[in-house]
Amino acid sequence: MLVWADGFRGTIGGGRLEYEALITARKMLENGGAARLDRTALGPQLNQCCGGAVSIVTEVFDTRALEHLGGVYFARRVVADAGALPGAARRRAEAGRVFQWTNGWLIERIGGRRQSVHIYGAGHVGRALAGILAPLHTFDVNVIDGRDEWIDGLPDAVATCADDPLKSANSAEANVIHFIVTHDHDLDLALCHALLSGNASFIGLIGSATKWARFKNRLRVLGHTDADIARITCPIGDPGLGKDPQAIAVGVVAALLRQKTPAKGANGEGE
């Protein structure tokens, strides 16, 4: 959780615990000091009914602290009498473990792995999907739309590309999650054709059952096998949530978080 004088980003769970943590963090910003460890019993100390205990590390990052960031991981001794950095923890960090708290040391991998998500189309559904995904730190969200005026106003965390979506699809790296939600069915089909020729992690297409039946026939004509075509999920979303753009986006993201790939559902057309 990042905290500054008049705002914050992220959460450690909310409630009284987070409220007190914000006060502590802002006092440290004013007064400085070394990283501190606070252990809090939620019931006796904060009167929170959930019970249990929480350990919170609070530390200040300034330009001097940032000079020590580099390499594969960032390890710092938080407990003053902690011994040497455990070798097993160091090896886990080098192997890709994103976060560790062990023997008084806090260890974080620098530039942890994030899943790339490409959204083709900045209409109603594309914008709703980007808005929900943007705050989630596990995704790098990219919205691609050739219409310059449509990509304005998206969250700062979203990368935008005012370029031909088909060009972007053809040059996409491997293992990217792709959502096709454009305003043009011919473009949708061309994107499906291009992405099936690559190594996508997931391909999701917005549309009705009728649209998908016609697309499958057209993709067969383009030379794709039924096994290839089955790599595309269409429709996307959760039909029980409704057809509003935000409802479609909620269904898609919920499935993405549960299963790492969105579940099939029924929805309307792209915008």
Token digits of residue 185: 């069915």
Please write the tens of the pLDDT for every residue from 155-207.
888 989 888 999 999 999 888 999 999 999 999 999 999 999 888 999 999 99
CA distance 81 to 89: 18
Tokens of 202: 């997931």
Give the CATH fold of the 115-259 domain: Rossmann fold (3.40.50)
By the 8 A CB rule, do 207 and 238 touch? no
Helical H runs in 134-177? 165-170
Residue 147 — left, alpha, or beta (φ > 0 → left; ψ -120 to 50 → alpha)? beta
pTM above 0.85, yes or no: no
Q: Cis bond leading into 235, ω under 30°?
A: yes
DSSP assignment letter at 262 = P
For 5-43, letters b (16+ CB in 10 Å) and e give eeeeeeeeeeeebbeebeeebeebbeeeeebeeeebebe
What would you measure as the largest C-alpha separation in the chain, in angstroms? Answer: 69
To the nearest whole number, what is the mean pLDDT of the chain?
87
CA 252 – CA 254 distance, rounded (Å): 6
**Ranges of each domain in the chain:** 1-61, 68-113, 115-259
**pLDDT score of 266:** 43
Backbone φ and ψ for 42, nearest 5 degrees, come out as: -65, -35
Quickly tell me which residue has 């088909």 as its tokens. Answer: 166
Distances (CA, A) of 53 to 11, 81, 117, 270: 17, 22, 36, 47
Predicted confidence (pLDDT) per residue in 91-137, tens digit: 888 777 778 888 888 888 776 567 899 999 999 999 999 999 998 87
| pLDDT at residue 271 tops 50 | no
- For residue 72, the model assigns a pLDDT of 77
**pLDDT at residue 98, rounded to an integer:** 77
